[in-house]
């Protein structure tokens, strides 16, 4: 038998056997927790004894037979085939004592003397063992002696006295997790001159790794050793259970090694607990219910109604057995195992009593709250206040889910109507950052409480923002008006109202027309810096400035200055988003991205789903302006995965717009249509996010050949932006987008006027919006000026950092060079456009650029003859016309084309009619090869 880290114990057993063989019998007690390897050492002692010529006898105590007289002694003959006479003697003795009664604690033989016949029989058996030992040394092994019956213990007590001058060795094993053995036996053993006590401790981390190495490869054993020791405490029995769990694991072999803690471990933990003393099992259950580090012994003693010394002994035994560490069970699976047989009622009762004791002892709210939550019902009158305090602590500690649970329980337990209103307000605000839909259930009650004057003022603004989120604008305005009517003299409330009004003016612009919500115009004189001019006001005012007057360095600087002061929290998050948006619309993309990444990381660290989702969506919007639609799409999908679409309220336009635009630019029109089919609230179009959605949907319509539908969306943008005073191309360039739609309808004059109007709004700064406008101007203006406009557009867009728009401008510039007979200049521009389009994942643009390159010779020479004419004709097709023509040339029917491009069959027919007219063909089979090349690419 191979034992790990048991060399000292084995050496002691060998020495004991050597002495016994020389006539100096001895006694060894192996003491340890359950699973510590006591039985293995007994087996090792028997093997060593047998190899040395000993007669080895073994018996094992049993809980079930602890009151059966002679139950341990009766096992010895099974191992003593050579003791025929001795066996008969023992059998007669056992028959003699079998009829004797034993009281519940097994102490009958302690209080009443044995009758002479039984005493003589036991003495005769002892004499027979001594006689045999003169022929061959004898080893007696008794396992689990703590469960030995009183008669057997009586015989052992008498027999120990003759060991010192005999060739007999006695080895007994006792479990420290169980009841102590007979005290007289311990006293007698200690008096023996050849007594020794062995305490096989738990295995070290290296020892655990060595055990694992016997069952798996060395690399995996080394990787799992530390974790296995941490979970098992080095208890050999638990280690073996974990080995079995690894064998039955379904973890892929190629995956990084990870310790599996499964049913084998759980069953072994439960077995260990049930084999020990009853108070030890109860203590483990109490510790599982408390589930806190180092609760001491006073609280468990109260709950167990036991003496503190008893609890302390049990705790020591559990720790020695590797079941607990620092006052708690080592693993959640162990905790679940300990509670497996504890009824729900008993568990709730333990929690209720624990809460009561902790409250009386003045423990902190966060220590009491878990037990109030575990009790669930019948909470005492002081419970709601404790739960509210714990919720506040949890919020401070970035644990909103725990805070919400506390407030929910407090609301259930509180009988006071006024307190319930305040709790509902706190609960709505806390649940909001987890999932806005959760808080919606309380809005009706809170709105009614506000109208009745029962809602505290500090919650009114929060209620207003939540009502706005869910599109309940009239009730939101009423909430803020009531705040204004009360004329609260508190300066902090006044600052809160002003900051909220500034925030709402940039996010919910229609509310600006309400007199009570009116804020100083961003175009007017800036408010004086004062005590009430906090960073939130500066952040929201910076965004309002950009939306009203266009990009400005001052507004961007104010936004960054505000964020350097602000810290992410429930009273700052929305204003921080305003500051990031101000940088985004001011073309400070690098700064906006850096700040957004910072806040996104903070939101993840704070474990607040709504904040993480909102900053993910905002980062996606920045990426779209940087020309990275693929990453933008992934982030927007992550935002909707973190907070479902129905929970976004009127702000759903943000992530949906990102997804539609990203899918459109990468050519995934089917996905874009699916995003557009997501239901939205009508109130969304009364927010800034509604503009993003209309713009993205218009872009989709334009790219899929529906210019009239696109014009409807861009016109809606125009109406809203003009009405709100936000008519700035940096927000949504609706004029240049409308101009593209008019170009698709061959209305060049109207397109040209719109672009010129947009240029006049932009001014001379080299902004991204100006680059986009110049690109469209080149398509609407005099062809002789096209190269110049496009050259400037490409330079500006490359400088702004928008790779996708820059790729489009370079593609247009290459086409313009080719059409004006300068193919040698066209190729470099087109090749750069192709590289950028590929980096951006913009498949439609990549196909268009590939078609342009195909119309130029290998070294920049133009294709001549009929091919040149066809190539030029293909170059005049719009993107939507080119896609339809390519699919038609590939053999697809009109219905198949309509399904693939998510357009109607009628639209396909209209596109093909224009394609045939522009190229000069009358049937599909005559479509030029260049279009087929587009599809193959």
Tokens describing residue 641: 């995965």
pLDDT category at 902 given cuts 50, 70, 90 is confident
- Mean per-residue pLDDT for 120-125? 79
pLDDT at 497: 76
Q: Is the pTM of this model over 0.75?
A: no
Q: Is the pLDDT of residue 256 over 70?
A: no
Mark whether 166 and 301 lie in a shared domain: no
Band of pLDDT at residue 452, cut at 50, 70 and 90? confident
Say what the pLDDT of residue 530 is: 39
Higher pLDDT pick, 70 / 412: 412
What is the distance between the alpha carbons of residues 919 and 882, in angstroms, rounded to a whole number? 11
Crossing angle, helix 400-413 and helix 417-434, to 10 degrees? 160
pLDDT tens digits, 694-730:
999 999 999 999 999 999 999 999 999 999 999 999 9
The verdict on 278 and 388 lying in the same domain is yes
Tell me: do 197 and 212 sit in the same domain: no
How far, in Å, are 267, 634, 758, 848 from residue 838 at the CA level? 57, 17, 30, 12
Do 171 and 69 lie in one domain? The reply is yes
Residue 19 lies in a domain: yes
* Other beta carbons less than 10 A from residue 130's beta carbon: 18
Which range scores top for mean pLDDT: 148-162, 202-216, 689-703? 689-703
Q: Flag whether pLDDT at 273 surpasses 90.
A: no
Give me the domain span that covers residue 919: 831-936
**Which residues have CB under 8 Å from 79's CB, separation 6+?**
56, 57, 58
Pairing label, strands 168-175, 138-143: parallel
What is the rounded distance in angstroms from the CA atom of residue 615 to the CA atom of residue 531? 29
CA atoms within 13 A of residue 135's CA, in its CB half-sphere: 7
**Residues 279/282/286/289 CA torsion (nearest 10 deg):** 170
> Does the pLDDT at position 92 exceed 70?
no
306 phi, psi to nearest 5 deg: -125, 160
CA 841 from chain center: how many Å? Answer: 30
Average pLDDT over the chain reads 84
Q: In angstroms, rounded to a whole number, what is the distance separating the alpha carbons of residues 756 and 758?
A: 5
* Three-class secondary structure of residue 31 per DSSP: strand
Highest mean pLDDT among 69-78, 253-262, 568-577, 817-826: 568-577
What is the rounded distance in angstroms from the CA atom of residue 705 to the CA atom of residue 709?
A: 9
Alpha helices in 248-382 (DSSP H): 263-275, 278-290, 298-304, 308-320, 332-338, 344-360, 365-375
Domain boundary among 394, 416, 438: 438
How much is the CA Rg of the chain, to the nearest whole Å?
42
Q: Say if residue 495's pLDDT is above 60.
A: yes
What percentage of the chain exceeds 70 in pLDDT? 87
Q: Is 538 among the domain residues? A: no
Task: Output the pLDDT for position 866.
Answer: 53
Q: How far apart are CA 149 and CA 836, in angstroms?
A: 87
pLDDT tens sequence across 338-378:
998 888 999 999 999 999 999 998 899 999 999 999 998 88
Query: Highest-confidence range of 454-463, 514-523, 618-627, 852-861, by mean pLDDT?
Result: 618-627
Stretch 406-429: mean pLDDT, rounded?
89
- Predicted pLDDT at 937: 36
CATH of the domain at 41: 3.40.50.300
C-alpha 562/C-alpha 568 separation (Å) is 12
SS3 content of the chain, % helix, strand, coil (to 5): 70, 5, 25
Q: Is position 923 within any domain?
A: yes
Q: Rounded CA gap, 59 and 70, in Å?
A: 11
**Category of 56 on φ-ψ map: left (φ > 0), alpha (ψ -120 to 50) or beta:** beta
> What pLDDT digit, counting tens, does each position of 796-834 carry?
999 999 999 999 999 999 989 988 888 888 889 999 999
Distance separating alpha carbons of residues 540 and 534, to the nearest angstrom: 10
* pLDDT for the residue 528: 38
- The CATH code of the domain that includes 905 is 1.10.10.10
d(CA 530, CA 522): 17
Residues 179 and 272 placed together within one structural domain of the fold = no
Per-residue tokens: 439: 């808080």
Total number of residues shown for the chain? 937
CA quadruple 493, 499, 500, 506: dihedral, nearest 10: 170
- Say which residue, 5 or 119, is predicted with more confidence: 5
81 domain-assigned: yes
Checking if the pLDDT of 659 tops 80, the result is: yes
Q: Which one-letter DSSP state was computed for residue 201?
A: P
Instruction: State the pLDDT at residue 578.
Output: 96
According to DSSP, the residues that pair with 632 across neighbouring strands are: none
Contact 414, 384 (CB under 8 A): yes
177 with 249, same domain: the answer is no
Burial of 531 (0-12, 13-18, 19+ CB in 10 A): exposed
- Is the same domain home to 256 and 372? yes
Name 514's Cβ contacts closer than 8 Å, sequence gap at least 6: 477, 481
Is residue 885 a part of any domain in this protein? yes
Tell me: the pLDDT tens digits for 11-22?
A: 999 999 999 999
First to last CA, the chain: 70
How much is the pLDDT for 857? 57
856 forms beta bridges with 862
Which of the residue ranges 104-108, 292-296, 603-607 would you say has the lowest mean pLDDT? 104-108
Confidence of residue 106 (pLDDT cuts 50, 70, 90): very low
Confidence grade of residue 1 (pLDDT, cut at 50, 70, 90): very low
pLDDT at 483: 65
Looking at 201, 220, 241, which one is the last position of a domain? 201
Per-residue pLDDT at 417: 84
- pLDDT band at 82; cut points 50, 70, 90: very low
Q: Mean pLDDT throughout 168-197?
A: 78
Same domain, 189 and 218: no
> Residue 663: its pLDDT value, please?
95
Closest to 23 in 3D by CA, of 153, 164, 126, 157: 164
Query: Among 287-301, 497-511, 524-538, 887-901, which stretch is predicted with the lowest mean pLDDT?
Result: 524-538
Residues 122 and 228 reside in one and the same domain: no
Which residue matches tokens 């949504």? 732
Over residues 881-889, the mean pLDDT reads 82
Local structure of 87: helix, strand or coil:
helix
Contact 839, 666 (CB under 8 A): no
Contact 932, 886 (CB under 8 A): yes
pLDDT at 103: 41
User: Residue 746 — left, alpha, or beta (φ > 0 → left; ψ -120 to 50 → alpha)?
Assistant: left
Residue 405 pLDDT grade (very low, low, confident, very high; cuts 50, 70, 90): very high
Please give the pLDDT value at position 485. 62
Number of domains comprising the chain:
3
Residue 257 lies in a domain: yes
Q: Is residue 523 situated within a structural domain? A: no
Residue 439 has pLDDT above 50, yes or no: yes
pLDDT tens column, 750-801: 999 999 999 999 978 889 999 999 999 999 988 888 999 999 999 999 999 9
Read off the tokens for 857.
């010779």
- Asked if residue 374 and residue 229 are part of one domain, the reply reads yes
Of 731, 839, 729, nearest in space to 775 by CA: 729
Residue 751 CB neighbour total at 10 angstroms: 25
Tell which of 393, 423, 438 closes a domain.
438
DSSP state of 528: P
Distance CA 933, CA 854 (A): 8
Indicate if 147 and 229 belong to the same structural domain.
no
Confidence of residue 515 (pLDDT cuts 50, 70, 90): very low
315 lies in some domain: yes
The helix/strand/coil state of 923 is coil
Q: Which of 427, 421, 448 is nearest to 439 (CA)?
A: 427
For residue 645, pLDDT beyond 70: yes
* Confidence (pLDDT) at 104: 38
User: Regarding predicted confidence, which is higher, 473 or 517?
Assistant: 473
Whether 837 and 883 map to the same domain: the answer is yes
Helix or strand or coil: residue 50?
Answer: helix
For residue range 833-870, list pLDDT tens digits in order: 999 999 999 988 888 888 888 777 544 555 444 555 66
Give the number of C-alpha atoms closer than 13 A to the C-alpha of residue 686, restricted to the C-beta side: 18
């Amino acid at each position: 038998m191979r034992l790990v880290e048991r060399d000292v114990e084995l050496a002691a057993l060998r020495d004991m056997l050597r002495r016994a063989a020389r006539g100096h019998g001895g006694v060894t007690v192996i003491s340890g927790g359950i699973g510590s390897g006591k039985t293995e050492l007994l087996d090792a002692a028997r093997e060593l004894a047998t190899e040395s010529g000993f007669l080895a006898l073994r018996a094992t105590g049993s809980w079930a037979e602890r009151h059966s007289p002679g139950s341990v002694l009766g096992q010895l003959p099974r191992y003593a085939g050579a003791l025929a006479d001795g066996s008969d003697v023992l059998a007669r003795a056992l028959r003699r004592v079998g009829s004797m009664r034993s009281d519940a604690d097994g102490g009958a033989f302690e209080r009443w003397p044995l009758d002479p016949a039984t005493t003589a029989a036991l003495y005769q058996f002892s004499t027979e063992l001594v006689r045999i030992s003169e022929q061959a040394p004898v080893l007696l092994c008794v396992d689990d002696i703590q469960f030995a019956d009183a008669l057997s213990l009586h015989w052992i007590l008498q027999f120990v006295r003759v060991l010192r001058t005999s060739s007999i060795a006695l080895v007994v094993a006792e479990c420290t997790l169980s009841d102590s053995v007979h005290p007289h036996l311990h006293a007698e053993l200690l008096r023996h001159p050849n007594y020794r006590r062995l305490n096989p401790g738990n295995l070290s981390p290296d020892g655990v790794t060595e055990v694992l190495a016997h069952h798996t490869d060395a690399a995996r054993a080394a990787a799992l050793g530390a974790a296995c020791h941490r979970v098992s405490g080095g208890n050999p029995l638990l280690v073996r259970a974990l080995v079995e769990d690894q064998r039955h694991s379904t973890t892929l072999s190629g995956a990084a090694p990870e310790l599996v803690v499964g049913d084998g471990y759980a069953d072994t933990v439960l077995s260990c607990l049930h084999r020990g003393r009853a108070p030890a099992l109860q203590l483990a259950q109490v510790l599982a219910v408390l589930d806190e580090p180092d609760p001491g012994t006073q609280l468990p003693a109260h709950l167990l109604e036991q003496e503190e010394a008893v609890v302390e002994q049990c705790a020591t035994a559990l720790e020695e057995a590797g079941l607990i560490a620092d006052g708690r069970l080592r693993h959640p699976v162990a905790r679940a195992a300990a509670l497996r047989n504890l009824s729900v009622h008993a568990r709730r009762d333990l929690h209720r009593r624990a809460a009561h004791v902790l409250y009386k002892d003045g423990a902190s709210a966060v220590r009491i709250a878990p037990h109030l939550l575990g009790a669930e019902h019948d909470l005492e009158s002081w419970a709601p206040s404790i739960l509210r305090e714990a919720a506040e602590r949890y919020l401070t500690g970035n644990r909103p889910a725990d805070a919400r649970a506390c407030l929910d329980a407090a609301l259930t337990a509180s009988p006071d109507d006024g307190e319930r209103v305040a709790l509902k307000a706190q609960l709505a605000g806390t649940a909001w950052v987890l999932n806005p839909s959760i808080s919606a259930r309380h809005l009706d009650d809170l709105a009614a409480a506000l109208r009745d004057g029962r809602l505290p003022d500090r919650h009114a603004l929060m209620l207003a923002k939540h009502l706005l989120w869910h599109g309940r604008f009239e009730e939101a305005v009423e909430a803020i008006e009531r705040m204004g009517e009360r004329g609260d003299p508190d300066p902090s409330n006044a600052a809160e109202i002003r900051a909220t009004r500034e925030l709402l003016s940039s996010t919910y612009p229609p509310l600006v027309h309400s007199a009570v919500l009116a804020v100083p115009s961003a175009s007017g004189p800036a408010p004086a810096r004062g005590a009430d001019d906090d960073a939130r006001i500066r952040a929201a005012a910076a965004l309002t400035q950009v939306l009203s007057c266009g990009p400005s360095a001052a507004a961007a600087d104010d936004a960054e200055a505000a964020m350097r002061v602000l810290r992410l929290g429930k009273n700052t998050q929305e204003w921080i988003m305003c500051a990031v948006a101000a940088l985004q619309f001011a073309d400070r993309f690098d700064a906006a991205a850096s700040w957004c990444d910072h806040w996104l990381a903070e939101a993840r660290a704070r474990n607040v789903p709504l904040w993480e989702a909102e900053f993910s969506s905002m980062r996606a919007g920045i990426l779209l302006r940087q020309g990275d639609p693929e990453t933008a799409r992934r982030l927007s999908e992550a935002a909707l995965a973190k907070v479902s679409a129905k929970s976004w309220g009127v702000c759903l336009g943000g992530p949906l717009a990102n997804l539609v635009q990203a899918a459109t630019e990468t050519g995934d029109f089917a996905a874009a249509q699916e995003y557009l089919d997501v239901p939205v609230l009508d109130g969304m179009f009364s927010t800034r996010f509604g503009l993003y959605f209309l713009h993205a949907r218009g872009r989709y319509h334009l790219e899929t050949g529906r210019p009239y539908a696109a014009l409807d969306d861009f016109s809606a943008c125009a109406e809203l932006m003009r009405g709100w005073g936000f008519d700035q191309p940096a927000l949504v360039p609706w004029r240049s987008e409308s101009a593209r739609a008019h170009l698709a309808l061959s209305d060049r004059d109207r397109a040209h006027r719109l672009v010129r109007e947009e240029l006049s709004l932009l001014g001379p700064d080299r902004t991204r919006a100006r680059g986009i406008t110049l690109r469209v101007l080149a398509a609407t203006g005099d062809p002789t000026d096209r190269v110049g406009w496009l050259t400037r557009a490409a330079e500006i867009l490359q400088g702004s950092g928008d790779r996708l728009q820059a790729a489009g401008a370079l593609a247009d510039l290459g086409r313009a060079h080719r059409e004006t007979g300068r193919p040698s200049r066209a190729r470099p521009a087109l090749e750069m456009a192709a590289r950028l389009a590929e980096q951006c994942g913009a498949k439609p643009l990549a196909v268009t650029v590939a078609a342009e390159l195909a119309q130029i010779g290998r070294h920049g020479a133009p294709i001549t003859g009929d091919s040149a004419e066809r190539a030029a004709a293909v170059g005049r097709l719009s993107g939507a016309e080119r896609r339809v023509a390519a699919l038609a040339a590939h053999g697809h029917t009109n219905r198949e084309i309509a399904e693939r491009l998510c357009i109607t069959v009628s639209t396909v027919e209209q596109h093909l009619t224009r394609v045939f007219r522009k190229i000069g063909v009358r049937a599909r089979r005559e479509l030029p090869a260049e279009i087929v090349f587009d599809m193959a690419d």
